[in-house]
Each structure stands twice: as structure tokens, then as C-alpha cells.
Amino acid sequence: MREFTTADRLKELLEVKRISQAGLSKIMGISRSAMCQYISGKITPKQDKLYIISTSYGVSLAWLMGYDVPMDVSLPVITYSQEEQDLIFKYRSLLPVGKETVDAVLEVQYQAYLKSKRKLHKRRVTQDA
């Protein structure tokens, strides 16, 4: 039985899930050169980076580490559009004060959305009665 390295698994992941190295490096919050070192096997990603890959692409942590287990986990796979990937990348690049500002604006917008949704639901219930 052949043993696999994390580098082998990353190469397979990129191919199977049709992910670019640049896209994966953005999701992981690392530089492209670090990604190249992971792919070549010069550096092995730390556990927190493997966890990001696992949860972002629905693959098993054990599989990423080279164990002979199924690639996919039974968790739902969340895929992000390029726009969402860019937003995540930009958010992760912010200083804490910038993140607080984004969080505050997002919360205001989300609460307005919920309020609008409740009003719409209330109208529908009233019309159906």
C-alpha cells in the first residue's frame, strides 16, 4: 500500500476540486510562494491550515495528512464564488479595528434585512387570513 504525503494530497485536491493554487492560497490566508512550498513538499502545512482546507472543501483531515481514508467527509461542502473568496481574503487582511468596522456595518445591514423580511412575512400572513 502506497503512503501519501500532504503534498500529494494537495495536488490531488487541486485537480479533483478544480481549484487554482492562487485560489487555495487566498482561502488559507497564505502567500503563493508558501503554497508552492506546500505543493512541492518542502514545507508541511500546520494543523490550522489543514483545518481551513478541510472545512472549506469538505475533505477529511486524515486524508489530507496522507492516511488511507475517503477524501470527502459527510459534512456539507461550502463552495465560495470568486467574489466571496475575494471578500474573505480582504477581511482577513484587515487590522482588528478594520474588522470591527466591517462587522458593525454588516450587522446594521443584516438587521435591516431581517426587519424587512419580517414585515414581508407579516404582510403575507395578513393577506392569507
Cα gap 82→98, rounded to integer Å: 22
CA-CA distances (angstroms) from residue 34 to 30, 49, 56, 70? 6, 11, 18, 26
The pLDDT assigned to 102 comes to: 97
The pLDDT assigned to 76 comes to: 58
The pLDDT assigned to 125 comes to: 75
> CB–CB of 37/57 below 8 Å?
no
- Amino acid letter, 14: L
DSSP string, 26-47: HHHT--HHHHHHHHHTSSPPPH
The pLDDT assigned to 112 comes to: 95
Q: Are residues 67 and 124 in the same domain?
A: no
pLDDT in tens, 82-97: 999 899 999 999 999 9
Which cell is 115 given? Answer: 426587519
- Amino acid letter, 45: P
The pLDDT assigned to 16 comes to: 92
Q: Are residues 68 and 120 in the same domain?
A: no
The pLDDT assigned to 70 comes to: 86
The pLDDT assigned to 2 comes to: 59
Q: What is the pLDDT along the chain (129 residues), one digit of tens a residue?
A: 458 999 999 999 999 999 999 999 999 999 999 999 999 999 999 999 999 999 999 899 999 999 888 888 765 557 788 999 899 999 999 999 999 999 999 999 999 999 999 988 888 877 776
Which cell is 3 given? Answer: 503512503
Helix axes 47-57, 6-16, angle to 10 degrees: 20
Domain span holding position 108: 94-129
Q: Are residues 77 and 115 in the same domain?
A: no
Q: Are residues 78 and 99 in the same domain?
A: no
Q: Are residues 26 and 9 in the same domain?
A: yes
Report the predicted TM-score, pTM, of the whole model to 2 decimal places: 0.55
